[in-house]
């Protein structure tokens, strides 16, 4: 089964229902065939979203060039189709709200509309009382589209890398640990956060395979407090960053620091998130080390612009992984890749580029290279695993 297409479909089904309302959720997890190579993971809608994400530099820093570069790369048509799908989905969810069939607040006679909630919030914030123009409707649709696109790609990518890592022979013991912990998946979803093995696996995947490894540029404001940085020299020199300077941080670079993440930061090791009983690490020492690691995690950003859907994404991933590995074991499909590393190896990144080959014949580590783009993905756009029931 191609779990990359499977998890993209799952994540889009969830987030579309969350944003537009359950009755408008997509059903790609069953509508697409994830077991037949060359079909599901090449769905035009998902390709359009993927191509749009690859243009993030122009979206944030050079928007005037977006259309020109999109035409140059030959992705304008694909992106336009995905944008039209987003608009049509918004219109579909908006229509019954306008007709009064559903409402934006809870009462005995109406179904709550997530679109209605966003509509009323942005309406009050932007223009107060009065009619909403077509332009303002498009702004609202764009806000929801941002949630839908970001909410399905990142979750689907992370779930794919979790299952690939667990399917590698060197990590098979983590499947067994996970099974023992998740034999009974709790009905109270908050209890998922109390499962240390599950949490450590998700955290390690978010660290090593951050779905957005690319730079997050920000301007130093012209007014307000001074911004300073501490250099990593022997004196710990502090320097002031001038107003107007563009500063940036990459999750990819930050997450590969040995301090605070420990030895072999390029390798998948959920144990780094657990208390090391073999060295006699005390609970106090563990909590201190854990705090430093958590403070250096940048998967969902930091500050007032961090990911709005973080809690939904984490809960969705934990529930999915708990359900899967309480019932199945997974292995890398030998028909897809017959050169599987038996030992632990460093995670790799690669570039596909325009006009380059679309496939790599090598080890599973080569084929699962992270695409060197703002929003990453498996470089070959696929990950084929075999599922075996534990019954």
What pLDDT was estimated at residue 360? 57
90: its two tokens: 């918004």
Q: CB count, 10 Å around CB of 53?
A: 22
What pLDDT was estimated at residue 49? 85
307 is in an annotated binding site: yes
Is the separation of the CB atoms in 322 and 198 below 8 Å?
A: yes
pLDDT tens string, the chain, 391 residues long: the values are 999 999 999 999 999 999 988 889 999 999 888 886 555 445 788 888 888 877 877 877 888 898 888 888 888 787 888 889 999 999 998 887 777 655 444 444 445 677 777 766 766 655 455 667 777 788 888 888 889 988 999 999 999 999 999 999 999 999 999 999 998 887 788 899 999 999 999 999 999 999 999 888 888 998 888 888 888 888 889 999 999 998 888 999 999 999 999 999 999 999 999 999 999 999 999 999 999 999 999 999 988 888 989 999 999 999 999 999 999 999 999 999 999 999 999 999 987 644 444 455 689 999 999 998 889 999 999 999 999 999 8
Phi, psi (5° rounding) for residue 238? Answer: -105, 130
Is the separation of the CB atoms in 158 and 316 below 8 Å?
A: no
What pLDDT was estimated at residue 12? 96
What pLDDT was estimated at residue 130? 60
What pLDDT was estimated at residue 265? 98
SS3 286: helix
What pLDDT was estimated at residue 356? 46
Q: Which CATH superfamily is domain 3-215+250-389 in?
A: Cytochrome P450 (1.10.630.10)
β partners of residue 112: 103
Separation CA 195–CA 216 (nearest Å) = 31
What pLDDT was estimated at residue 194? 93
Question: Which CB contacts under 8 angstroms, 24+ apart, belong to 287-296?
Answer: 289/260, 292/260, 293/260, 293/261, 295/260, 296/254, 296/255, 296/257, 296/260, 296/261
Separation CA 218–CA 44 (nearest Å) = 32
What pLDDT was estimated at residue 190? 86
Which residues of the chain form CATH 1.10.630.10?
3-215+250-389
What pLDDT was estimated at residue 232? 80
21's torsion region: left (phi>0), alpha (psi -120 to 50) or beta?
A: left
239: its two tokens: 């320097």
SS3 53: helix
Separation CA 370–CA 377 (nearest Å) = 6
The β-bridge relationship of strands 238-241 and 227-230 is: antiparallel
What pLDDT was estimated at residue 111? 52
Task: Name every residue whose Cβ is closer than 8 Å to that of residue 317 and which is 6 or more positions away in sequence.
Answer: 155, 158, 159, 162, 202
What pLDDT was estimated at residue 112? 60
């Amino acid at each position: 089964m191609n779990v990359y297409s499977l998890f993209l479909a799952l994540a889009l089904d969830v987030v579309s229902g969350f944003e537009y309302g359950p009755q408008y959720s997509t059903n790609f997890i069953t509508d697409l065939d994830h077991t037949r190579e060359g079909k599901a993971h090449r769905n035009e809608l998902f390709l359009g979203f993927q191509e749009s994400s690859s243009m993030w530099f122009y979206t944030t820093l050079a928007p005037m060039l977006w259309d020109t570069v999109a035409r140059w790369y030959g992705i304008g048509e694909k992106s336009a189709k995905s944008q039209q799908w987003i608009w049509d989905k918004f219109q579909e969810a908006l229509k019954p709200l306008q007709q009064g069939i559903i409402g934006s607040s809870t009462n005995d006679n109406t179904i709550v509309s997530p679109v209605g909630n966003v509509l009323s919030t942005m309406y009050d914030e932007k223009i107060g009382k009065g009619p909403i123009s077509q332009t303002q409707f498009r702004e609202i649709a764009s806000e929801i589209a941002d949630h839908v696109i970001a909410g399905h790609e990142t979750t689907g990518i992370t779930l794919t890398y979790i299952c690939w890592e667990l399917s590698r022979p060197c990590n098979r013991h983590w499947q067994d640990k996970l099974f023992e912990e998740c034999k009974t998946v709790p009905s109270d979803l908050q209890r998922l956060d109390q499962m240390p093995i599950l949490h450590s696996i998700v955290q390690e995947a978010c660290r090593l395979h951050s779905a957005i490894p690319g730079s997050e540029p920000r301007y130093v404001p012209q007014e307000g407090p001074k911004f300073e940085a501490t250099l990593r020299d022997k004196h710990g020199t502090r320097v002031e960053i001038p107003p107007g300077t563009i500063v940036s941080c990459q999750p990819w670079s930050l997450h590969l620091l040995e301090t605070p993440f420990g030895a072999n930061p390029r390798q998948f090791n959920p144990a780094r998130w657990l208390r090391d009983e073999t060295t006699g690490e005390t609970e106090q020492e563990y909590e201190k080390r854990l705090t430093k690691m958590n403070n250096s995690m940048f998967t969902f950003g930091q500050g007032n612009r961090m990911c709005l859907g973080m809690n939904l994404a984490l809960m969705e991933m934990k529930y999915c992984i708990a359900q899967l590995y309480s019932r199945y074991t997974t292995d890398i499909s030998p028909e897809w890749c017959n050169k599987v590393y038996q030992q632990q190896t460093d995670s790799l990144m690669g570039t596909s580029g325009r006009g380059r080959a679309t496939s790599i014949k090598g080890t599973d580590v080569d084929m699962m290279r992270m695409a060197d783009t703002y929003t990453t993905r498996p470089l070959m756009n696929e990950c084929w695993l075999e599922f075996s029931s534990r019954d």
